[in-house]
Amino acid sequence: MAKGVTVWFTGLPCSGKTTIADKVAQILKAQGRKVERLDGDIVRKGLTRDLGFSKEDRDKNIERVTFVAKLLTRNEVIVLATFVSPYIARRQLTREEIGSYMEVYVRCPVEECMKRDVKGMYKKALAGEIKDFTGVDDPYEEPPNPELTVDTHLETLDESVQKVLDEMKKRGYI
């Protein structure tokens, strides 16, 4: 029987959240599962384009996404959500609101994230062109008890993807 879940990928910008979730989505869709992707960059072009990057706006962004993820999850969709979501308290509220929830911490040192920065955002933040950038002048609060941690600086993409799929299977989501 199909069971909805939100798999919430959190981590620094450029840690690998989107890359892993996209591949997980591809595999699950090939198995005939109902899957939706919610990604920070995409959501900010539509649903939350009116928001900036202050702590209040970041929390409002995640609040709106949580609402969408909750609706999809209760309709037996596997939601793969990729958001920096830097604050523990807001992630906890998301967990409580959605219920069927699995947090994946995509861990990667900030120095490695800076090397992967294809959009040049870290460079702009370090130059003072972007304010409140997570990992530079705004903190990222590491999850104290995620259901899964993947270390993208130590694992291949396929290894991280397999860990996510294995954890979802272990928890009865797939």
44 touches 100 (CB < 8 A): no
Catalogue all structural domains in the chain, each as residue range(s) with its CATH number. Answer: 5-170 (3.40.50.300)
Q: Which residues are catalytic?
A: 85
Task: Tell me what pLDDT residue 116 has.
Answer: 96
Alpha carbon distance 22, 10 (integer Å): 14
Task: Tell me what pLDDT residue 158 has.
Answer: 98
Structure tokens at 80: 């793969």
Tens of pLDDT, residue by residue, the chain (174 residues):
568 999 999 999 999 999 999 999 999 999 999 999 999 888 888 888 898 888 888 899 999 999 999 999 999 999 999 999 999 999 999 999 999 999 999 999 999 999 999 889 999 999 999 888 899 988 999 999 999 999 999 999 999 999 999 999 999 999
Residue type at position 32:
G
